[in-house]
Amino acid sequence: MKPLIFPILSIVTVAALAYALIQAMNAPTDALQGDVYRIIYYHVPSAWTAFLLFAINFVASVNYLARATPSRQAAVKWVVIGLGIVGIIACFLPQVQKQLTSYGMRPSAMATTVLLIPAFYFLVGWLFPGDKLDMLAVTAAEVGVVFCTIVLVTGPIWARPVWGIWWAPGDIRLTSTLVMWLIYVSYLVLRRFSSSAQTQMLAAALAVFGALDVPLVYFSIWFFRTQHPQPVIGGGGTMDPRMLHVLLINWMAFLLFTFLVCWSRFRLEMLHREVEQAHAMESMGGARASSKTSLPLGRSSQ
């Protein structure tokens, strides 16, 4: 990225966040919840952003694991393509179409989403070769945990005046979100404190496991009875178009901010690894020089 691009994007991001805040304050008041509902403009975009970052972490981790051997890489490539084809065909089966329609989703839109998954997998593998895949994975996980923390903090703040309680222990959405947060915190702890040569591979495997909880969190309010409200977009939910417009504005501002943070963190991780590599090379050079200058015991120089 050119030197001037980052400051320009920073200014644009600050302006977008300020504009989104103004829109959130001026959006229509919810008839049932009053002004406390306005936290939705930060709670929901934070959740969407966390889901997106964990998805990036998952794709980067699968790519990283697949590149261990050429045969594994080829096998994973064909599995991804096969899953994409099967997923697209399944979206147009009568039974699946009926189910998708009952949840307010169009089969064509779902098929497009399914098609984007393998495309995104190959795009990430092409843009981030080698160790950059691992750098992308840890970057996405770190920033994703931050946004997931925001979700877990703003949720109880919103729930207290609306539900009368801070937390519903038996609620599947709340519990699965907390489990997801703990999994990715464990991922970061592993990356931070493990010094094994297999740390990156183990972390990638843990990331793949952790990604299994993301769909459970997202679809839990569709398939289970929970204290959490039903989805306002899809799933038969409704939302005032003006509120939805403001919600999307806030999410776009969050995405700009997320891009800047992730780019800075990715570059920091790259510089950190370059420094570690330089120190390792320097240590190896010093060890070689020491071995050359050392003499066998009991012999003198000529």
- Residue 114: the pLDDT is 82
Task: Indicate whether 297 pLDDT > 60.
Answer: no
Question: Is the domain of 180 the same as that of 82?
Answer: no
Element holding 112 (H helix, E strand): helix 107-127
Query: Nearest 5 degrees, angle CA 113-CA 114-CA 117?
Result: 90
Contact 15, 252 (CB under 8 A): no
Question: Is the domain of 104 the same as that of 169?
Answer: no
Question: Is the domain of 47 the same as that of 191?
Answer: yes
Taking every pair of Cα atoms in the chain, the longest distance, rounded to a whole number of angstroms, is 96
Task: Indicate whether 299 pLDDT > 50.
Answer: no
Residue 41, phi then psi, degrees to nearest 5: -75, -5
- Residue 295: the pLDDT is 45
Whole domain around residue 181: which residue ranges? 7-27+37-56+131-275
Is 256 among the domain residues?
yes
Is 167 among the domain residues?
yes
Using DSSP's 3-state secondary structure scheme, residue 302 falls into coil
Q: What's the token pair of residue 68?
A: 């261990």
Question: Is the domain of 172 the same as that of 230?
Answer: yes
- pLDDT tens digits, 81-98: 998 888 888 888 888 777
At 125, the pLDDT band (50, 70, 90 cuts) reads confident
Mean pLDDT of 143-155: 93
Task: Indicate whether 52 pLDDT > 50.
Answer: yes
Question: Is the domain of 94 the same as that of 139?
Answer: no
Contact 244, 23 (CB under 8 A): no
Q: How far apart are CA 119 and CA 87, in angstroms?
A: 13
Map tokens 């970057």 to a residue.
Answer: 139
Task: Indicate whether 66 pLDDT > 80.
Answer: yes
Within 10 Å of residue 45's Cβ, how many Cβ atoms? 25
Is 155 among the domain residues?
yes
Question: Is the domain of 89 the same as that of 207?
Answer: no
DSSP state letters, 184-215: HHHHHHHHHH---TTHHHHHHHHHHHHHTHHH
- Residue 64: the pLDDT is 92
Question: Is the domain of 80 the same as that of 205?
Answer: no
Q: Any idea which of 60-64, 200-204, 286-290 has the lowest mean pLDDT? A: 286-290
Is 299 among the domain residues?
no
Tell me which of 96, 129, 162 is where a domain ends. Answer: 129
**Distance (Å) of CA 44 to CA 58, 85, 138, 150, 213:** 21, 31, 23, 10, 18
Which residue pairs from 271-275 have beta carbons closer than 8 angstroms and sit at least 24 positions apart in sequence? 273/131, 273/135
Q: What DSSP designation does 230 have? A: P
- As a whole number, the mean pLDDT across the chain is 83
**Count of domains in the chain?**
2
Is 285 among the domain residues?
no
Q: How far apart are CA 132 and CA 262, in angstroms?
A: 13
Q: How far apart are the first and last CA of the chain?
A: 57
Question: Is the domain of 106 the same as that of 135?
Answer: no
Q: What's the token pair of residue 11?
A: 């200014």
Contact 56, 124 (CB under 8 A): yes
Question: Is the domain of 143 the same as that of 245?
Answer: yes
Question: Is the domain of 76 the same as that of 164?
Answer: no
Is 210 among the domain residues?
yes
Task: Indicate whether 136 pLDDT > 80.
Answer: yes
Q: What's the token pair of residue 297?
A: 């015991």
Within 10 Å of residue 83's Cβ, how many Cβ atoms? 14
Mean pLDDT of 101-106: 69
Is 63 among the domain residues?
no
Is 293 among the domain residues?
no
At 296, the pLDDT band (50, 70, 90 cuts) reads low
- Residue 158: the pLDDT is 82
Q: What DSSP designation does 129 have? A: -
Question: Is the domain of 144 the same as that of 216?
Answer: yes
Mean pLDDT of 151-166: 82
Using DSSP's 3-state secondary structure scheme, residue 96 falls into helix
Q: How far apart are CA 171 and CA 221, in angstroms?
A: 10
Task: Indicate whether 298 pLDDT > 80.
Answer: no
Question: Is the domain of 41 the same as that of 138?
Answer: yes
Task: Indicate whether 230 pLDDT > 70.
Answer: no
Mean pLDDT of 9-30: 91
At 50, the pLDDT band (50, 70, 90 cuts) reads very high
